[in-house]
Amino acid sequence: MSTIRSRLTAWYSAALLVSLLAFAASLYFDRRISSQAELDERLALEADFSGRYLINSFRVLGSLARTRDGTVQLDPGIANFFEGTTRDFMLVTDREGDVLFSSTEAARLSFESFQRLRAPLVPTPTIRSTGTFTFDPDVGAVRFVVMPIVSAGPEIGAMIVTAGENVVSFGPGALLRSMLVSLPLILGASILLGYRLAGPSLRPLKEMRREVEAIGDGRSLHRRLQVDTSYNEKAGLNSSVNRMINRQQ
């Protein structure tokens, strides 16, 4: 009985493991898609807000670029505003693709990573676009929005706003880590539960074995196994054993 019990437990655990993995995979990919949509929505709002701010500032100031230390830079007031509102990587370029503003996080990147971030702005894009790239191993995958700025004067060409996929609250990475931690615990508990549940299921077979042993001792050959009125697996097996004993007599 212990062998059958172990096999039942193993099959139950394997079926549960497959079900859990299928559920975890579907949940992970669903969360990945939804988190990307959530991140894209956030970036779109941030890009639209920044673009409108540049356009409105141009209407008020008339010029958004200032020459400082021999380089052309975004107006300090606008740059400070973007620094206070931008949480990730942001670049603003002129019509030639030269950088007028870079957020603090972008300025901390290596030269190669910074150029990779700037690449979608050279040449100046004419349409809005979104996508994913990895420009720094320490940052990982990021989503970006590239948006041309056509109504903020001749000095402004386009901007790029990016955010790492890990900024989404309980994103796919966090979900995957949680599943990897909880899966062994769930599987271990299910194995113990399955092993305990298999015992009562096999109890009728143990009782049948004792009855067959009692009949086979030579003193109770008149006895027969009890057949339940509800025909189930045990009742069918008892009937087969009774017929076999009748043929032997």
Maximum distance among all Cα pairs of the chain, rounded to whole angstroms: 114
What does 177-214 look like in DSSP terms, one character per residue?
HHHHHHHHHHHHHHHHHHHHHHHHHHHHHHHHHHHHHH
pLDDT of 1: 44
pLDDT of 235: 60
The residue ranking higher by pLDDT, 205 or 48, is 48
Average pLDDT, the chain: 77
Q: In the chain, pLDDT over 70 holds for what percent of residues?
A: 68
The residue ranking higher by pLDDT, 144 or 192, is 144
Reported as a single tens digit per residue, the pLDDT across 33-57 is 777 777 888 888 889 999 999 999 9
Output the pTM of the full model. 0.59
pLDDT band at 189 (very low <50, low <70, confident <90, very high): confident
pLDDT band at 209 (very low <50, low <70, confident <90, very high): low
What is the C-alpha to C-alpha distance for residues 5 and 202, in angstroms, rounded to an integer?
7
pLDDT band at 200 (very low <50, low <70, confident <90, very high): low
- Show the beta-strand stretches assigned E in 86-165: 89-93, 99-102, 129-133, 142-148, 158-164
Contact 103, 90 (CB under 8 A): yes
Contact 55, 151 (CB under 8 A): yes
pLDDT of 169: 47
pLDDT of 78: 92
